[in-house]
Amino acid sequence: MSEIITYRLDEIADVIDCEHKTAPKVDSSDYYSIRTPDIKNGRLLYEQANRVSAETYELWTKRGIPEAGDIILAREAPVGEVGWIDKDHKICLGQRTVLIKIHSIEIDKKYLLYSFVSPKFKDYLNELSGGSVVAHLNMKDIRALEFSFPPLPEQKAIASVLSSLDDKIDLLHRQNKTLEAMAETLFRQWFIEEAKEDWIKGKVEDLFTLQRGYDLPSSKRIKGEFPLYAASGLNDMINAYQVEYPTVITGRSGSIGGVYISLEKSWPLNTTLFIKEFKLGTLVFSYFYLKYLDLESFNAGSAVPSLNRNHVHGLEIQLPPSQLIKEYEEIAQDWMLKVKANKHQIQTLENLRDTLLPKLMSGEVRVQYQTEEVA
C-alpha cells in the first residue's frame, strides 16, 4: 500500500488573494481578467474573459503574477471551481478569486488540480462555504484546506491518465473554435463588409423573434443529457428541456452580451432570451447576427444589467436578401454540424474522465508507475 501524506494547502503553495474590486475592462488587449464565470471544470475560458489594459494588469498583479502551472480558485459564485493556467497568458485575478502557486517539489501540480475537481472534495468545499447567505470561502479556510497525496510517481501517473483525456477534450474545443471562426469570417464578409446600400430597410424582428427563457430552481435540476443555459452561457446538463429545436440564446439579466448557439434540445433559463421563431433569419446567420450587435449597449438596468427584447426587436437595419442568407446557411451549417459532433465527443470524454477521476483519487482504481530511483 502506498504511503499517503497529508498537507495543508499553505504548506505546499502560496495562496494569494485577489484585488477586492472590479478591474476596468477594455475592448481589446492581450491581458485577461479571470472572473468566477471564466473558471469551469479545471479550465479557464479565455474566449469570454474580460480584457484589461497593461496598466491595469500591472496594478492587479502586484501581489503575485499568475503563471503557467498555477491554479485559480473561485471563492464564490460558484464556490470551488478551479482553472489551470496552461501557458503564460497575461492574466490578472477578477473579484472573488484566489491564485495558488505550488512551490513544493513533492507535489505534482496537475494532481493537485484534479484533487480540487474531484466530486468528494467539491462536496467538502460546498459544506465549508455554506455558513452564510451567499456561499463563500474565506482565505483562512482556503489556506487550511488539507489534501492527501500518494508518492510523487503515483501522483504523476494518475495526473497523466486524466490529462490525456483533457488534452483530447481541449483539441476538440480548439477545432470547434476554428470552425466557428470560419463561419463568422464568412458572415462578416458577406453581410457586413459587402453589405449593399440597396438592401431593403427593416427591423431585427423581421429576422427572428426573441422570447424570455424558463424558470428552473436549482433544487429541481437533475443531471441529464440536455444543456441548461444561463445568462453567462452553458450552466449544466439536465434531464429535461423546454425548447425542442436548435436555437440561439443570449443573456437577459445579470450578464448581457454573450450569445450562444444550441444545436439540440435545450432549457434556456429565465435569465436569458432565446429565438422562438426564425423568420428571414436562419439558425447560424442569426447566431452571428446577434453576436455582431452590441447587445451590451441595450442595457436597460441600473445595478443589474438587463436586456429588453423589444429594444432589440425594434432596431432598424438593412435586411439581406433571403437567397443570400440561404446560401450562407448551406455552407456554414456543415461546419456547425461538425461542431455539434465534436461537442458530443467532448461530452463522452468528459463523462469518462469524471467517472475515472474519483476512482483514481480514492485508490479504488490503481495505475502502474515506476518508482524514482535515487542514484
Q: Whole-angstrom Cα distance, residue 226 to residue 240?
A: 6
- Average pLDDT over the chain reads 92
What are the start-end ranges of the E strands in the chain?
5-8, 13-17, 31-34, 39-40, 43-44, 50-52, 71-74, 82-84, 90-93, 97-102, 146-149, 201-203, 208-212, 223-230, 233-238, 247-251, 259-262, 267-268, 272-278, 316-318
Q: What are the pLDDT digits (tens) for 12-51?
A: 999 999 998 989 999 999 999 999 989 988 999 998 899 9
Q: What is the pLDDT of residues 158-169, one digit of tens each?
A: 999 999 999 999
- In tens, the pLDDT along 68-93 reads 999 999 998 778 899 999 888 999 99
Class of domain 200-319: alpha beta
pLDDT digits (tens, 9 = 90+) for 122-131: 888 888 887 5
| Residues carrying CATH 3.90.220.20, the chain | 5-149, 200-319
Structure confidence at residue 38 (pLDDT): 92
Judged on CB neighbours under 10 Å (0-12, 13-18, 19+), 55 is: exposed
pLDDT at 374 over 50: no
Model confidence, pTM? 0.79
Chain centroid offset of residue 337 CA: 21
Confidence of residue 2 (pLDDT cuts 50, 70, 90): low
Higher pLDDT, 365 or 88: 365
Residues β-bridged to residue 44: 39
132 pLDDT above the threshold of 70: no
pLDDT at 185 over 90: yes
Count of CA atoms in the C-beta half-sphere (13 A) of 177: 10
Which CATH superfamily does the domain covering 5-149 fall into? Answer: DNA methylase specificity domains (3.90.220.20)
**pLDDT (tens digit per residue) in 301-350:** 667 889 999 999 999 999 999 999 999 999 999 999 999 999 999 989 99
